[in-house]
Structure 1
């Protein structure tokens, strides 16, 4: 009986060895019933490198160079080369264009009421010979000429506290404020506003 069991055992071992032989072959996947159609993937679009054009700066349409505004030594005092004191020079307050017939300029002392005095010119002609800057706004109205109208405000003194300081406002003939700023200048120096009537 031991021999029969031994023989059955050998037969089982030999059959299992043949059964393993099919796994030695390379793996072959079973194809699906409904194969998906391969979608054509379009190639990636590579945009060409485009260099943007240089930015052209629009030239200032003002008919003068603000840097050369104070070049005339007969009209404007030269800056004082005093280290640490920056108000001993003329000050350009800006420019604007308008179609208004008149402009109103108002000013007042922007700091201490220390007795600051100014003289006002329009195109090199004195229109206000002397005015003391106070806490309330004072002003004048000018009739604008075609082209450039230059308003110069000259500091006649610096009051008790240097420099001559003031806040100013400019209005067109419709009452619209077009400028609002301050000047800080020493005695004899001017703050200038350019109004261009188109």
Structure 2
């Protein structure tokens, strides 16, 4: 009985401590700033009429079907239902005026032993690369016109398919393209850089 009386007394004291009636009497709202005072707006500028016309970017229209029809360079697509990576993957064609480009890549998923071979204009420049968690890569000197970079999957690691994240930079450090590929063993992911 003493414990219950003690508990009731403690509860009533604590409720009195939280009520704090004195704050209700002393509360005064903060008045809003005078909204009638307005800051002057800066004058609007009119664009000059003698601006040079914007140059349209060069569009490269390359059909992946035409690109991958050479069976001596590219493995033929396997029509296996439900398996999307048994094919070559076209990563796009991009126009640049840079002289040197940096290509970087790494394993996109977890590091599972993926290996690739890298080609530049159908010539091997990296015979075997183990994809790891950190970016690695190379610099290439671009020739005027088409510069075709192929990444061939040498295996699929312990988890299919061969996955990688890649980045392509110009000589000023601006990103030309950044994406991923998912290809099966023997298939290639292709990106084209067109140097103006």
Which residue of 73, 76, 81 corresponds with 1:75?
73
**Is the 2:107–2:164 contact (alpha carbons within 8 Å) kept by the matching residues of 1?**
yes
Give aligned pairs, total.
Answer: 140
**Structure-1 residue corresponding to 2:160:** 162
Structure 2 alignment gaps of length 5 or more:
1-55
Deviation, 1:66, is 3.1
Structure 1 alignment gaps of length 5 or more:
1-57
Residues 1:148 and 2:146 are matched in the alignment: yes
Any runs of at least 4 consecutive aligned residues in structure 1 with deviations exceeding 6 A, and if so which?
Answer: none
**Structure 1 residue matching 2:84: 3-state secondary structure:** coil
Larger radius of gyration between Structure 1 and Structure 2: 1
Deviation, 1:95, is 1.2
Deviation, 1:78, is 0.3
Q: Evaluate the alpha carbon distance shift between residue 175 and residue 163 of structure 1 in structure 2; reply closer, same or farther with a 3 A threshold.
A: same
Deviation, 1:65, is 2.8
**Structure-2 residue corresponding to 1:107:** 105
1:1-198 equivalences under 5 Å are 61-62=59-60, 64-198=62-196
Provide the TM-score with structure 2 as the length reference: 0.69
Q: Distance in 2 between matches of 1:136 and 1:83?
A: 34
